[in-house]
A and B are shown apart, each in its own frame.
Chain A
């Protein structure tokens, strides 16, 4: 392993946010299924799943603000914004790698650095998730938590059915994304390489 080089990619605040967020999202997905399909699933009483869902939801909101504070205060938020001038070419190259090159053992066209840890596809995906989907999910979740208290805002946005639809559609998206995200994390030079990096902060470069 002498040819490997360790690079500090994930600072401590990012790792803390990531695992808090991960635990929260997993809890939200599990309890979300229990809440929506109470007549089919019997993982826990509905009342407990609602309480746990609320608790996890506020945990994710708190973690989100930790993430936002860190990335804004350090200026690193820029890593979430792809360069429009090179985006298409890089996206095609990256997609070709995931769809073809990776099976042939070709190297990843994107080289991870502390300043540029995401490839363009990751940038695009996380930009949408962190700046649109997750905030929308958090806001709709807070509205559903206190329907009566936020009734004015809910009416203004078209009614509880609209808020619920947004929350449920994004819930399914996040549930699906969780599966894909965990799988993509196994695409490092070893299946557990990215998982280890998110614990230690160091990625191994070959």
Chain B
């Protein structure tokens, strides 16, 4: 089975890109442990009067090492001074061993494509109105984790909903609640960004998503065996039959997980290019047969570090009873129902047209019978 997003390779690429791009003269010798010698102290603060702006970050200098160690940057070998590149050496003779006023971290050093997309976005343009929005406004600082395993709700809460209340706008949108629950903001707001239907294991009893480890433990198999279990014909795509088979196996293991489906954007730099007036507002784009929004379907196994394994699923699964807990009006409709509907309508029209045709054809017969009945009635009256 093909892994669609190879996190390890991606991580290496990011690390290599940083190594190549970051101005780290002398910085390589500074280990994270040296930074945490001071910054793991919860009481470490910086007075807001020393020239820094009065933000929370300027005061709190404590970094939770455990949380930092779960971050995507740490997991990809990015150290403190790779980002805080203006710290080139530590002088322990001073009260603060580096300069007190550090430069802003330049995420562009590594995330060039995302940065370029962001530069062409409304979030950059608002700087003209005096509002500065940096990467950390959405992504945070030291504890950035992978986003790909997050649900729509988490993606919204961790991102757009920090500033925007979607319920205060979107008055034109029918079924707001349903859209906000199943569709990630950028899917509509950046129509060119790649997206996919993300299927994940969900337990209705506990109202929680199953993690990769939980599912594999229940099934009693390893990650590589999971691929073999799913893709029995080894064509690297899970078809309806294979999907049904997985469901059956889960039932046999007494796991009543459902497949929760959401329409989310793929982790791609283009998601940063949000602009006014470009959001998808034509309902038909999504809610019609063969909509491109449902072309990519993936089953995901989420991991603790926020990454996930993706398994490509045949779109036909969305239009089958295998996926009973997701339906996008018109977009994932079952063709079988259309055929049954056509037969019902054809049956109704056939009965009507057939009966009407015989009714018209037998008009002379009825006239004749009526005439004969009248004659016989007259004869009866005469004979009386």
1/0 per position for A61-98, CB-CB distance to B under 8 A?
00000000000000000000000000000000000001
Residues on the A chain within 8 Å of B323, using CB? 161
Q: Is A130 part of the binding interface, using a Cβ–Cβ cutoff of 8 Å?
A: no
Q: Is A4 part of the binding interface, using a Cβ–Cβ cutoff of 8 Å?
A: no
Residue from A38, A104, A159 within 8 A of B283 (CB atoms): A38
Tell me which of B9-17, B65-73, B154-162, B337-345 binds A.
B337-345
Q: Is A3 part of the binding interface, using a Cβ–Cβ cutoff of 8 Å?
A: no
Tell me which of A10-18, A44-52, A109-117, A192-200 binds B.
A44-52
Number of A-B contacts (CB under 8 A): 113
Q: Which of A147-186 contact B (CB under 8 A)?
A: 147-149, 155, 158-162, 164-165, 168-169, 171-173, 175-177, 179-180, 183
Residue from A45, A105, A168, A179 within 8 A of B352 (CB atoms): A179
Q: Is B365 part of the binding interface, using a Cβ–Cβ cutoff of 8 Å?
A: yes
User: Looking at chain B, what size class is its interface with the partner chain?
Assistant: 35 or more
Q: Which of B347-369 contact A (CB under 8 A)?
A: 347-349, 351-352, 355-356, 358-359, 362, 365-366, 369
Q: Is B325 part of the binding interface, using a Cβ–Cβ cutoff of 8 Å?
A: yes
Give how many A residues have a beta carbon under 8 Å from the other chain's beta carbons.
38
Q: Is B177 part of the binding interface, using a Cβ–Cβ cutoff of 8 Å?
A: yes
Q: Is A56 part of the binding interface, using a Cβ–Cβ cutoff of 8 Å?
A: no
Q: Is B383 part of the binding interface, using a Cβ–Cβ cutoff of 8 Å?
A: no
Q: Is B63 part of the binding interface, using a Cβ–Cβ cutoff of 8 Å?
A: no
A39 adjacent to B352 (CB under 8 Å)? no
Residues on the A chain within 8 Å of B349, using CB? 176, 179
What is the distance, in angstroms, from B236's C-beta to the closest C-beta of chain A? Answer: 26
Residues on the A chain within 8 Å of B338, using CB? 36
Q: Is B26 part of the binding interface, using a Cβ–Cβ cutoff of 8 Å?
A: no
Dominant SS among interface residues on chain A: helix
Residue from A104, A158, A176 within 8 A of B366 (CB atoms): A104
What is the distance, in angstroms, from A199's C-beta to the closest C-beta of chain B? Answer: 22
Shortest Cβ-Cβ A-B pairs, 3 listed: A159-B324, A176-B348, A172-B341
Binding site for A on B (CB under 8 A): 172-175, 177-178, 181, 204, 258, 283-284, 287-290, 321, 323-327, 329-330, 333-334, 337-338, 340-341, 344-345, 347-349, 351-352, 355-356, 358-359, 362, 365-366, 369-370
30 intermolecular pairs with C-beta atoms under 8 Å apart: A36-B330, A36-B333, A36-B338, A38-B283, A38-B284, A38-B287, A39-B284, A39-B290, A47-B172, A98-B355, A103-B365, A103-B366, A104-B366, A105-B366, A147-B175, A147-B178, A148-B178, A159-B325, A160-B324, A160-B327, A165-B337, A168-B337, A168-B341, A169-B340, A169-B341, A172-B344, A172-B345, A175-B344, A175-B348, A179-B345
